[in-house]
Amino acid sequence: MVKIFAVETIARSIMSNHLHIQVRIRPDLAKAWSSEEVALRWLTLCPPKRILSNTNPKPLLVSDPEVQAIINNPTAVETYRKRLCCISWFNGRLNEYIARRANKEDGCTGRFWEGRFHCKRIFDVAGIIATAAYIDLNPIRAQCAISIEDSDYTSAQERIYNLIGHSDPKYNSDPNDNSDPNDNNGSPTLITIEDATNQSVSTLEYLALVDQTGRFLVRGKKGRIPPEITPLLDKLNISISAWEKNNEQFAKYFRRAIGTTNQLRSAAKKANKLWFQGHYAAKLFFSDVT
């Protein structure tokens, strides 16, 4: 399912009762798709319902007439193209996959999540790194792990495994799983930190930041950030003292968007709002110039 969308995943953390995911939509990729590719992606994501029989126990593959029906309808093509790079549709299908799989395991039916997802816009590299670190440190903050390499189902742990060439069953497909082979077990494939930050931050720098930030979160109020982490934070214009003091409350400070005060003002204006919450936090975290 995930590979079908024009959506890239930067960070994720799967907890026992919720998940965090940081994504980047790519409308430029979707725009480059041909009408046929849009049709194939959409029909793979939402295959037509078919009547199954004893002679046909499994759903058929996407048929050519179904593909042609979409291709011959330009309005449908453009509608599906927009949906395939839409965060709401992405989350909807991801959540549906999780609900179906959980209900199958528990032998029940109904909704899996209590409510709709919450979304916040991120403006720049500093916001990307700050948000990704917050997401990756969720297990440590919840005292479910004592290090980032022990933080199961997080993007930081997966990046470590990729660096050392270690294979972990959590990130491999289950050979006995009968779900759609295109969905990658419902786990969105990560893009590199380098790609996410336009080559301004390396994976090693990011992991060092998460590790050191995690130390003062886990060991709490007495620990301090080692001096060697300073260059990265300076490069991103993140205030060291504000980051250490307020990282645990990072997500609560920002509501609709994450960025500098000028970026928040601009985003609010475009949304026909007077303001977005987070101006005080923007000054703390991003050394904002007003």
62-75 burial string, b = 16+ CB within 10 Å, else e? beeebbeebbeeee
Residues 158 and 268 in one domain: yes
Residue 67 covered by a domain: yes
Residue 157 covered by a domain: yes
Residues 124 and 213 in one domain: yes
Q: Pick from 84, 106, 132: which residue ends a domain?
A: 84
Greatest C-alpha distance within the chain: 69
Residue 274 covered by a domain: yes
How does residue 185 score in pLDDT terms, banded at 50, 70 and 90?
very low
Residues 173 and 68 in one domain: no
Residue 93 covered by a domain: no
Residue 49 covered by a domain: yes
Residue 90 covered by a domain: no
Residues 186 and 250 in one domain: yes
Q: What's the confidence (pLDDT) of residue 288?
A: 53
Higher-scoring residue by pLDDT: 265, 215: 265
Residues 127 and 196 in one domain: yes
Instruction: Read off the tokens for 234.
Output: 């300076």
| Count of structural domains within the chain | 2
Residues 73 and 133 in one domain: no
Domain residues for the domain of 39 are 28-84
The DSSP annotation for the chain comes to: -GGGSSEEEEEEEE-SS-EEEEEEE-HHHHHHS-HHHHHHHHHHHSPPP----SS--SPPPPPHHHHHHHHT-HHHHHHHHHHTT-HHHHHHHHHHHHHHHHHHHHT--S-SSSS-----EE-SHHHHHHHHHHHHTHHHHTTS-SSGGG-TTBHHHHHHHHHHT---GGGS--TT--S-GGGGGG-PPBPPHHHHTTTSS-HHHHHHHHHHHHHHHHSTTS----GGGHHHHHHTT--HHHHHHHGGGHHHH-SSEES-HHHHHHHHHHTT-S--S-HHHHHHHH----
- Tell me the average pLDDT across 269-281: 81
How does residue 167 score in pLDDT terms, banded at 50, 70 and 90?
low
Q: What's the confidence (pLDDT) of residue 136?
A: 92
In the predicted structure, residue 231 carries a pLDDT above the cut 50: no
3-state SS, one letter per residue, for 245-263: HHHHHHHHHCCCEECCHHH
Q: What's the confidence (pLDDT) of residue 65?
A: 85
Residues 49 and 177 in one domain: no
Of 4-13, 101-110, 198-207, 213-222, minimum mean pLDDT range: 213-222
Residues 62 and 166 in one domain: no
In the chain, the N- to C-terminal Cα span, in Å, equals 43
Residues 76 and 126 in one domain: no
Q: What's the confidence (pLDDT) of residue 159?
A: 87
Predicted TM-score (pTM) of the model is 0.69
